[in-house]
């Protein structure tokens, strides 16, 4: 990891009461993945619903 990035992570950790850069990275990853999952779930299916096993059985 570049020293400049490590310094920025350390400064962010200090400013936001994190225990260290690893906590900042873990929390950032969680937030990013949560946002990504929310974006995937909120996809606009205006072209029609997805076929599910139930809709395929019921025609």
Domains of the chain by residue range: 3-48
What pLDDT sits at residue 22?
94
Sign of CA dihedral 47, 50, 51, 54: negative
Contact 29, 35 (CB under 8 A): no
What's residue 44's pLDDT?
57
pLDDT tens over the chain, length 59 residues: 999 999 999 999 999 999 999 999 999 999 988 887 766 666 555 555 555 555 555 55
For residue 43, what pLDDT is reported? Answer: 55
pTM of structure: 0.58
């Amino acid at each position: 990891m570049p020293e400049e990035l490590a310094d920025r992570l350390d400064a962010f950790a200090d400013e936001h009461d994190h225990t260290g850069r690893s906590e900042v990275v873990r929390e950032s990853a969680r937030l990013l993945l949560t946002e990504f999952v929310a974006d995937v779930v909120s996809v606009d299916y205006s072209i029609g619903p997805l076929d599910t096993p139930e809709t395929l059985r019921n025609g």
